Amino acid sequence: MDARAAAFILFSILTIVPAFFVVFSKNLVHSAFSLLFTLGGTAALFVLLGADFLAITQLLVYVGGILILLLFGVMFTQRIYDMRAQTNFYNLPTAVLVGVTTFFLLFFGVALSVPWKAAPHPAHEPTSAALGELLLTRYLLPFEVISILLLTVLIGAVVVAKKEQPE
C-alpha cells in the first residue's frame, strides 16, 4: 500500500466516523464538534485531490465561519440548564430506511453503473491562479451574481433575526 492510499484511508475515516456522531449524537454540542472533524477531513481529501485553494477555502469558510455560526445557534437556542430527557429523533426507523435507500441508489445505482472515463491526473499543480483567472473571465457573471446574493443574505439575516420592536 502506498502513502497516498494510506492517507486516503486515514482521512476518509476521519471524515466518516465523526459524521455518524453528527447524525446520531444526543448532545448537539457534540454534534457540532464532530462536524469540525468531518469538515477538516474533507479539506484533507481536497488536498489529496489536488485542490489546494479549495482546501484552504473549506477550512476558512466552513470551519472558521459556518461551524462557529452553528455552535452559536446551538448554544443560543438550547436551554442548557434543563436538559429534559427527550428523544432527539422524530421517527428514526423511517429516517434510517430513507438514508440507506439513498446510499444504495447513489452508490450502486449511479456511481457503479455509469462507465466514467476515469484517468488519474499525473501531477499536482497549484490551482489558485487558474481559478482566479476563470472567475474573472468565463465565470464573471456567476461571480457577480453570487456577490449580490451575499449582500442580500447579509441584510436579510439581520432583518429576520432582529427582535421586533413593541409598538
Partner 1 sequence: MIGLTHYLFLSSLLAALGVIAIAGRRNAVAILMGIELLLNAASINFVAFSHFVVPARPELALDGQLFAIFIIVLAAAEAAVALAIIISIYHNLKSINADELVQMKH
Question: Site residues for partner 1, window 50-79 (CB under 8 A)?
Answer: 50-51, 53-54, 57-58, 61-62, 65-66, 69-70, 72-74, 76-77
Is residue 119 a contact residue for partner 1 (CB under 8 A)? yes
Is residue 44 a contact residue for partner 1 (CB under 8 A)? no
CB of 78 to partner 1, least distance (A): 8
CB of 9 to partner 1, least distance (A): 8
Between 83 and 153, whose beta carbon lies closer to partner 1? 153
Q: Residue 79 is placed in which grid cell?
A: 436551554
Task: Report how far residue 58's alpha carbon sits from residue 77's, in angstroms, rounded to the nearest whole number.
Answer: 26
Q: Determine the length of the chain.
A: 167
Residues 128-167 that bind partner 1 (CB under 8 A): 130-131, 134-135, 139, 142, 146, 149-150, 153-154, 156-158, 160-161, 163
| 10 within 8 A of 40, measured Cβ to Cβ | no
Look up residue 158 and give its amino acid.
Answer: V
Number of residues that bind partner 1 (CB under 8 A): 80
Is residue 40 a contact residue for partner 1 (CB under 8 A)? no
Cα–Cα distances in Å, from 93 out to 25, 96, 97, 99?
16, 5, 6, 10
Number of Cβ atoms within 10 Å of the Cβ of 26: 12
- Check residue 60 and report its DSSP letter: I
Transcribe 121-151 into DSSP letters.
-S-----HHHHHHHHHTTTHHHHHHHHHHHH
Residues 78-117 that bind partner 1 (CB under 8 A): 86-92, 94-96, 98-100, 102-103, 106-107, 111-112, 116-117
